[in-house]
Structure formats: structure tokens, C-alpha cells
Amino acid sequence: MAYATTSFDLVNFKVASSKRIIGYNKQIKQQRFVTFNSVNGVVPRINGVKKLKVAYQGVPGAFSEFAAKQAFSDCIPLPCRAFLDAITAVEEGKADLAVLPVESTMEGTELRNYDLLLQHDLPIVQEINLYVHYCLLAMPGVSKGELKKVISHPLALAHCGKTLAQLGLDHEAVEDTAGAVELLLSNRMFDTAAIASSQAALLYGLDVLAHGVQDESWNVTRFLILSKDLRLRSPKGRNKFGSKTSMVVAHHSGTLNVLLKLLSAFSTRDINLTKLEVNPSRTNGTPVLVLDPKEGGPLKEFPCILYVDFEGSMDDQNVKDALAEISEFPVFIRTLGSYSADPNIYGLQ
């Protein structure tokens, strides 16, 4: 797929000539451009020949496909109907990796995808932060005034809620952003627009009626890349930001005590937290289902859960000590993976 350069004028971003390079390192508070291939340096290959297959939800042009190519520039992206199918593809050996959007600056944690992480045993091997810039796309020649409805992925519709209200258009959720574009085209829908990337517009030949239609200009989505094959972890010490670990601490009661224990265990060892979410809300207080990889199934049910990401690896002694200290409490700890921290934010122009 060709990534053409279009105009791009947001604060903190600059178009870097016609190359596919833009990025903003928020964490270190300075502007930094990164190349699309710099994430891993060398693209890993199993047995030195096979190209990696990365399963994602959606069709070509979806943001998840872009995240997959960002992580492994030489990969073969494998389109899947749903995120669960992408995970199943890896479990069944049809793909090497799966890519999953798990949180966004505008909507917070994407609980449905986090649940998938918790209910399957696929370690996180990488993280990718993607700046998501939405466009309003329509069939060639269609004007805004002719539109009655907008279709897109639920996350994209949520990110653009105010804009949609201002336009006074109905909306309908479909599987993915690029899938919405494909649907417009295949059904020749002249009264419907899609919210998707400008790349999807180029790929499918649709018109861009408006750029940057998200409610907040700063809109970053974090994707996690999962694999059974830990060799696909980005090389340790690839950058000066070191490792990061994601885990959940699940328990049956006493959130406050568990939380205090966790904060104390981490702070005495100077381990920085990069995410801490306490009992993310779920409909009707339904328990969280977590797989215990040591036991296989059935899934364990917990009313209380902490989502924790921290700087450091499960190989670090101070991390092992901190987890041992937390385990003095009757909690269930499941580590979801240690991987290279990637504070860069990659973007589509």
C-alpha cells in the first residue's frame, strides 16, 4: 500500500518531507521524528525465511493494520473479522502475532479488548502508540449536504461524537474503519459517509470531505502486539526507555488494602507505574473473567481487579521482590508480558 503525503497541520506535528516519518515523543517532552522502520531495526524472521503474519481486526486500510506494519514493516497483515478471530488465528498457528487496540487518550481503556487479553494466554511482545487522525469520507462527488448517515468502528464513532452531533447525522457501528469505506463502495451508498484514515480514502478511491474530525486533536491509541513466540519481543535495551510490564492483580475484596500494598511494594523499590486502573467499570457489576495460564481453564471470576503497567521487566529482581510482597495478600497476579517500552507516537500523514 502506498502512503502518500497529504497536508498535516496539527500542533506538535510536522510533515517530514514526503517520507513516511512523523512522530512526537510526548514522554520526553521534545519533538522527535522516527522512521517507520526504526521500531525494531531488523524485521524478525523465523528460520531466516518466513515473513511474519500479523492478524488484525478489519480490512486493509484499518488503523490496526497500520499498527501491524509499524511494528513489523515487512510483515504479511492478516485481515480478520473480529479481534477475537485475530487472537484465535495466533492460537491456531495461522498467524505469528495479533494486534489489539487497548486504550486511547480520548476513551481510556478499551475493556472488551482488555478482556480478550485476560481470557487468553498470549503474552504481549510489543506496544505501539498511534496518532489517530480521522477523515470523513464519501463516494466521489458526494457533498456533505447529501449525507444522512455516518458509519465506522465504534471507537471511531465515540472519538468523533461531537462532530457527528454538529453534522446532525445518524451513525451506525460497523466492524472497522476501512470496512466502513469498503461497504460504502460496494453498496454505492451516496447518502452515507465513513470515518476512516486518509490512507483508506486513497486505497479505496473515496473523497475526503473533512480532515481531523475527532473531537480532540490529540488522539492517540495504544496497541498491544501479542504472540506465543517470545523471540518476537522487540530486542531488550533497544532504546534507553528499557522494559515495561503489564499485569493484573485480581482479588475478591478489599481493593483499598491491595492498592496500598501494591503502591508500597513498588514505591519502596522505585518502580514507576505507567498505568493504574482500579476496578474499571463494567455493566451490572459483572465479574471479570481471567484465565490462569498455569491451570488452563475454567476462567476465574473476580469482582475486583487492578490493571497495572510499570517500568521494568519480570526478569528484574526488584520486580520479582515487589510481586512477592504483593502476593502476601490473597490476590491472583497475572503478568500479561514484559516488552520494550516504546514512548514514540507514530502517525499517519
Binding site for ligand PPY (CB under 6 A): 58, 62-64, 101, 132, 153, 155-156, 176-178, 221
Q: Which is nearer to ligand PPY, 24 or 131 (CB)?
A: 131
Angle at 41 between CA 101 and CA 32, to 5 degrees: 70
Cα separations in angstroms, 106 against 109, 159, 263:
9, 7, 26
DSSP-derived secondary structure letter, 150: E
- The answer to whether residue 36 is catalytic is no
CB of 272 to ligand PPY, least distance (A): 26
**Bridge partners, residue 311, by sequence:** 244
Shortest Cβ 276–ligand PPY spacing (Å): 23
Which CB sits closer to ligand PPY, 178 or 206? Answer: 178
Residue whose CB is less far from ligand PPY, 182 or 311 = 182
Shortest Cβ distance from residue 36 to ligand PPY (Å)? 17
Residue closer to ligand PPY by CB (options 58, 312) is: 58
* Three-state secondary structure call for residue 324: helix
Counting Cα atoms < 13 Å in the Cβ hemisphere of 160 gives 33
Q: Which of 163, 177, 192, 221 is catalytic?
A: 221
Contacts made by residues 37-44, CB under 8 angstroms, sequence distance 24+: 37/73, 39/70, 39/71, 39/73, 39/126, 39/128, 39/234, 39/342, 39/344, 39/346, 40/71, 40/72, 40/234, 40/235, 40/238, 41/235, 41/238, 43/72, 43/73, 43/74, 43/75, 44/72, 44/231, 44/232
Q: How far is the CB of 223 from ligand PPY (least distance, A)?
A: 7
Rounded Cα distance between 63 and 66, Å, is 5
To the nearest whole angstrom, how small is the minimum distance from the Cβ of residue 153 to ligand PPY? 3
User: What one-character-per-residue DSSP string does 207-269 give?
Assistant: EEEEE--SSSS--EEEEEEE-S-GGGSPPTTSSTT-EEEEEEEEESS-HHHHHHHHHHHHHTT
Question: How many residues comprise the chain?
Answer: 349
Q: Quick check: is 190 catalytic?
A: no
**Minimal distance in Å, beta carbon 252 to ligand PPY?**
34
What's the closest the beta carbon of residue 174 comes to ligand PPY, in angstroms?
9
Collapsing DSSP to helix, strand or coil, 113 comes out as: helix
Q: Nearer Cβ to ligand PPY, position 201 or 331?
A: 201
Element (H, E) at 197: none
- 315 burial (CB, 10 Å; 0-12 / 13-18 / 19+) is exposed
Q: Select which of 13, 63, 223, 266 is catalytic.
A: 223
Between 137 and 326, whose beta carbon lies closer to ligand PPY? 137
Please, which residue, 312 or 347, has the CB nearer to ligand PPY? 347
Question: Would you put residue 308 in left (φ > 0), alpha (ψ -120 to 50) or beta?
Answer: beta
What are the residue numbers of the active site?
221, 223
